[in-house]
Structure formats: structure tokens, C-alpha cells
Amino acid sequence: MEKKAIKASIVVLIAAAMILPVGAITQTAYTNDKEQVSTLEISRGHGSVGMDISTSPVTVRGKEIKQVRSISANAMLDGDVQVTSGDGLEIQPSIAADGAGSLLIGMIADFGSGLNAYFTSSSDGGATWADNAVAWQIETPQYPSVDYWGGSTYYGTMVPSSSDSDGGMLYLMECTDPTDFENGYTLTGWGINDLGDGYTNIKAVDIGCDNGVEDWAYGGVAFIGDHGSGLTETPMFGYQMTEDGYSWFYTFSNADDPFTLEHSLSAAMSIDHTTHYAYPIWTYLNQNTGLYDIYTDIFDFGTWDEYQGYPMHPEIGSVFINDSAVSTEYIDVSAYNNNVIIVAQTSQYGAPNKDITCYYSY
């Protein structure tokens, strides 16, 4: 496990983006008892370059509730609590917690009617799990993502099937009561494949939630997809701007720029519930080095500005994080109380082994 410190709070750097020093910070990390010295460069980003407005989402009908447990509530599997007991494939789990014992899990599973994204819950910190799970009759998705919003509410999303609006359906699952499988779960979606130049072939999604501002605003989704302007596997971002569902969707590159953010591997999203700063982050292929680096664009979700007559959250800065000898591949992010932690699967340049690296602000 490598730890790399960013020698000033990322939040402070972003807020003062115009005076952010562009340069290199030499870091020392220890892996397998060997000293590794690399250069970590933090530089100003360019912010978003494209924005599109989508109208209200469409509600998805055809909800199905499946029994997923046929064993006693306290059944154990090699000493661990068994969430489901089906014979079908169960993969790609995602979990969120309210901090008081309620848990929500999303997964891709086959409970007798083919692979689908299912959601189920625990009300006692995972000691026991519900007998049922809920899904919708949609084209088979992948990689669900869930996050806690506040109260008894969770939100989730998932990677759409490539045949679902050309892979351009951005789903939003709302769970107002994890124990109520009949009425506590709804699914809506924005078809953004024909929005602007088109957002298609979504390949990664992550949702971040915050209930500190409006009671209708879920938060935001960082995702990766193709853009009709000519960008492939490029960072994208979306959030709801009105109560009736109008939403902004962003891109961060122009296809004709000499340097573009493309061929991204992963996306992650977190909102600081104390500052209401939103941190969508992505990895992208650095065309100059052949390594995967990190890009983040920070939004102030606690503030509304106006653009062309529509409300929008202001961008307060963006940052590239480039490590001279490390390729940063798969990432996750957490932000709280003006602190940001990014954890990543990384590979040393030219080395076959993988490491877990933590970048943190202080």
C-alpha cells in the first residue's frame, strides 16, 4: 500500500485555482520494504468544455420482485453472512450505509429470469438480509453503484446495456425505504444518446449523493462514454438542476484539441457533506506518457448560479494528478470535512505487479 500526500488541501488548491502553483512534488513511498521515489505533479485543469440540457427523465415500468433467500436469516457461509442463496451468477456488488445499521446493496445477478441489476437491504448492519430483491425489466445492465443520500433514502445507477439507447441511458434508482420492495423503489432514466452531439456507449458510472441542499436533488453521476463530437471513452458528468428533472451533462475535452481526455478506465464520485463540494474524478490515458493519470473537476453543490436562464452549480476548479512513474488505473474517492482521499489500483512503469496507492489531501 503506497501513500502519496498532496502537500496542501485539494479543496484549498481548487478554491484558489488561479494561484495554484504548477510544478512537481517529489514523494517517497515504500512498497515491499523498498523505497520508491517518483514525481507527483499537480497542475491546473481546464474545466468543462461542453454542456447540454436534458429534459425530465422517463419512469421505467415493469418492476419485478424476486425471492433471493431460501435459507434461514442467520445462515452462515464459511463464517460470513450469506446475503443471497440462489444458484445463479451473482457479481459486481456495490454497497452503501446510513451509519445507523441500514445497508443497501446493488448487484448483477440471475435469480431465474436472466441477469439483471438487483437491489436488496439489511436493517441490522448486515447481520441479516431481506428475503427479496427488486429489479426492472430493462436490457441487461452492469456495475450498479449506490450511495446514501440522507434520512431513509438511497440512490443508485448502473452501466446500461450497449443496446439500450446505444448505451446512452443514464439510470437513476431512488430508494426511499429499503425494506419496502413494493413501493420504496423507483427507477427513472435520461436517454442522452441523442442529446447534443450524443452521449453513448457508457462504460463506467459512479453516483455521489448529498441531501444538504434541496430535497429533490440526488447529487451527481460521474461516468465514461463516447461523445458524438469524436471523443472515445471520455469523462462525463451529470446532475439534476430542477425539481422536475431537467439536468446538466458535461464533457471535458474538445475532439480537435491537441491533448484530449480519452480512453478512460474508471470513474468515481463523492460529495463532501460538510462543504457540499462535489468531486467527480476519472482516469484517462495520457497520450504523452502512455500512463493513466487522474483528472477531477470540482463543483460547488451548495451554490446555484445561472447560465442561459437555467440554474447550475459553479465549477470552482479542476486538477490533473500525474505520477511520473505510476499508471493510475482504477479509482475511488471519498470526501468529508474538507478532506479528500483517492485510492487507486496502480502499476509501476514497466513492472507487471499491481499496487494500491492512496492520494490524500491535508
Residue 51 pLDDT grade (very low, low, confident, very high; cuts 50, 70, 90)? confident
Would residue 187 count as lying in a domain? yes
Q: What is the pLDDT of residue 16?
A: 27
- The predicted model gives 253-266 an average pLDDT of 95
Q: Provide the grid cell at 176.
A: 426511499
What was the pLDDT predicted at 31?
40
Domain membership flag for residue 121:
no
- Show the domain range for 293: 23-60+138-361
Q: Does a structural domain hold residue 333?
A: yes
Residue 1 scores a pLDDT above 70:
no
What's the confidence (pLDDT) of residue 84? Answer: 82
Alpha carbon distance 110, 99 (integer Å)? 29
Number of separate domains in the chain: 1
Q: Write down the mean pLDDT value for the chain.
A: 85
Q: Is residue 6 domain-resident? A: no
Q: How far is Cα 247 from Cα 234, in angstroms, rounded to an integer?
A: 19
Question: What radius of gyration, in Å, describes the C-alpha atoms of the chain?
Answer: 21
Among residues 271, 284, 277, the alpha carbon closest in space to that of 331 is found at 284
In this prediction, residues 342-360 reach a mean pLDDT of 86
Q: Which of 111, 296, 110, 96 is nearest to 210 (CA)?
A: 96
Model confidence pLDDT, tens digit, residues 170-193: 999 999 999 999 999 999 999 999
In a domain, 2, yes or no: no
Residue 111 lies in a domain: no
The CATH number that applies at residue 244 is 2.115.10
Look at residue 70 in the predicted model and tell me its pLDDT: 52
Does residue 95 fall inside a structural domain? no
Task: Decide if 317 is inside a domain.
Answer: yes
Q: Distance between CA atoms of 238 and 252, rounded to whole angstroms?
A: 12
